Amino acid sequence: MRSSAATVILRTLFGLAFLVFGMNKFLHFIPNPQEPPAAMDFFGALFRTGYFLPLLAATEIVSGALLLSGIFAPFALVLIAPVIVNIFMFHVFLAPSGLPMAVIFVALELALAWQYRWAYAPMFSRNRSEAIGTPFAADASV
């Protein structure tokens, strides 16, 4: 399926943001801003698990790379969606200064999900015959 120029631009910006911020969690090339104490407690708890921040970074890097390449972009959007929800809620409840960027990420996620809605249609169909018209379901033989 061919993407419009606007979709490619949005997908590239979104993918680049997550690729860079994901890599920053490993390489620390962008300094972290000073956060409120509750936000620091939250990050401290995530760090102390020993697994969550590397998992988060890897998820961001993989999603960002897939979005940049245009390969499996609908899957990348599904993969990054829980991260977007957490970013938004983190800034609503713990660090409101970053809320404008979080709102932009939510808007980009929703705009791109709408552009790739054909890929999600089979998940929301009641039966197989309704999903047959979608690009993926047309190849199904089961």
Distance (Å, whole) CA 39 – CA 105: 19
User: Tell me, what's the pLDDT at 142?
Assistant: 44
Q: Is 134 domain-assigned?
A: no
From the list 109, 94, 32, the residue with the least C-alpha distance to 63 is 109
User: Tell me, what's the pLDDT at 35?
Assistant: 92
Tokens 């957490």, located at residue: 86
Has residue 141 got a pLDDT over 60? no
- Domain enclosing residue 55, as ranges: 5-129
Q: Is 137 domain-assigned?
A: no
Torsion, CA 124, CA 127, CA 128, CA 133, rounded to 10: -60
Distance (Å, whole) CA 21 – CA 64: 9
- For residue 125, which amino acid is it? S
pLDDT tens for residues 82-122? 999 999 999 999 999 999 999 999 999 999 999 999 999 88
Q: Is 140 domain-assigned?
A: no
Q: Is 34 domain-assigned?
A: yes
Has residue 13 got a pLDDT over 70? yes
Structurally, the chain folds into a number of domains equal to: 1
